[in-house]
Amino acid sequence: MPDPDPARVALLGCGDIAGQYLTELARHPAAVEVTTCADLDVERARARATEFGIAKVALPAEALADESVDIVVNLTPPVAHAGVSLEILRAGKHLYSEKPLATTLADGVALLDEAGSRGLRVGCAPDSFLSGPIQQAREAVDAGRIGRPVAAFAAFAERSVESWHPNPAFFFAPGGGPVLDMGPYYLTALVALLGPAEWVSAQGDTLVPERMSRHGGPLVASTPTHVSGTVGFASGALATVIFSFDVHHTHLPRIEVYGTDGSLGLPDPNRYQGAVELVAAGGEWAELPPPGGLEIHRGYGVVELAQALRQDRPHRASGALALHVLDVMEGLLRSSGERVAMTTSEPLELAA
Ligand SMILES: NC(=O)c1ccc[n+]([C@@H]2O[C@H](COP(=O)([O-])OP(=O)(O)OC[C@H]3O[C@@H](n4cnc5c(N)ncnc54)[C@H](O)[C@@H]3O)[C@@H](O)[C@H]2O)c1
């Protein structure tokens, strides 16, 4: 039997991240063919289409009306995700969204309901938990190499976004912030390693309310820029998490998992590469051998979704997983874990 045609894909939103998607999707021509670049700003769509040799340039409505398109990839800014994704589903297309799935849990639930009622798939970034290092760490956990996981640590703490992104304002507005922006990579990895979360508790604040963008324009944060919390997993494991746009430099690990018989150290979950380290109780840290298998990059989740559709099996970077991670993130932002006031702060004299 001849191979079926690849799934036809339209990108909706052709800004900064679109190039990484177009590069990865071009590596999998048997699974996907990008036929259309669409954007509210049609000149951005045209620029990407020219750069990557994509046939059609369109406004969003034109892309959604195109009957030949099977999957629409939503690469708009986070605050636009829910509305744009709903339009994609209402146009009868399978959806793959950049993270977060939506900026509120209620909007995320509405999206999955819409897709369910129409028999459509929802895939969502991040797909980095499918990469070699995180899958290798999962295998180590499943094989019992650190015993029973009892605790974990995850931290994103940087002050870089204002200096590299061409349009950084959305990172500092509601719907942005370090939890919704970077939390998906760390929390999806933790859920992949430890299973579903059951509760969260957190404290957050806007510690550095003002900063300059790389173009010199002022950025005023109107959403928490530093959040630290605890995630309680159904397994009983407890994870300490820190998400911050307020820290210039740190030696904090990205992700560690602590078991009854040892510990695992993971590389940056937003990079798809890097060494996993393991130490048995009483032993020395050692890198695991590089994982074999397919090397993936950002956008692979769309390829895997197309393959799953063809094979009539569930896809892995799923809407249900993204919704669970959104639930955790909203919990971290909503939580005002009980503050217990100290009774011994004054008078406390601290000699220099
Ligand atoms: N930039 C990165 O390094 C990066 C990395 C990982 C994930 N992401 C995610 O990718 C998404 C896009 O980020 P970006 O950095 O490319 O943003 P961007 O601002 O550079 O690009 C967004 C594009 O979407 C278009 N757009 C906005 N509203 C639209 C609408 N309603 N319909 C159609 N097009 C619309 C804009 O014109 C713009 O071209 C975000 O969800 C972000 O979290 C970005």
Convert the pLDDT of each residue in 9-54 to its tens digit: 999 999 999 999 999 999 999 999 999 999 999 999 999 999 999 9
Peptide bond into 269 cis (omega under 30): no
Contacts of 1 (CB under 8 A, 6+ apart): none
What average pLDDT does range 84-111 have in this prediction?
98
pTM assigned to the model:
0.96
Mean pLDDT of 299-310: 98
Q: Tell me how far apart the alpha carbons of residues 8 and 45 are, in angstroms, rounded to a whole number.
A: 17
Q: Phi/psi at 159 (nearest 5 deg)? A: -125, 45
pLDDT by residue (tens digit) across 116-147? 999 999 999 999 999 999 999 999 999 999 99
pLDDT in tens, 267-289: 999 999 999 999 999 999 999 99
14 lines ligand 1 (CB under 6 A): yes
Give the residue, by CA position, lying nearest to ligand 1 atom 44: 17
84 CB under 6 A from ligand 1?
yes
102 lines ligand 1 (CB under 6 A): no
What angle (nearest 5°) sits at the alpha carbon of residue 164, between those of residues 332 and 250?
Answer: 55
pLDDT at 2: 58
Confidence class for position 214, pLDDT limits 50, 70, 90: confident
Average pLDDT for residues 62-78, to the nearest whole number?
98
Ligand 1 mutation target, pool 11, 36, 40, 223, most atoms within 8 A of CB? 40
pLDDT at 1: 55
Report the C-alpha gap between 291 and 273 in whole angstroms: 9
Residues 197 and 229: their CA atoms lie apart, in Å, by: 13
Task: Tell me what the mean pLDDT of segment 309-330 comes to.
Answer: 98
Per the CB < 8 A criterion, the answer to whether 264 and 256 are in contact is yes
For the chain, the average pLDDT equals 96
Shortest-distance atom of ligand 1 to CA 84: 31
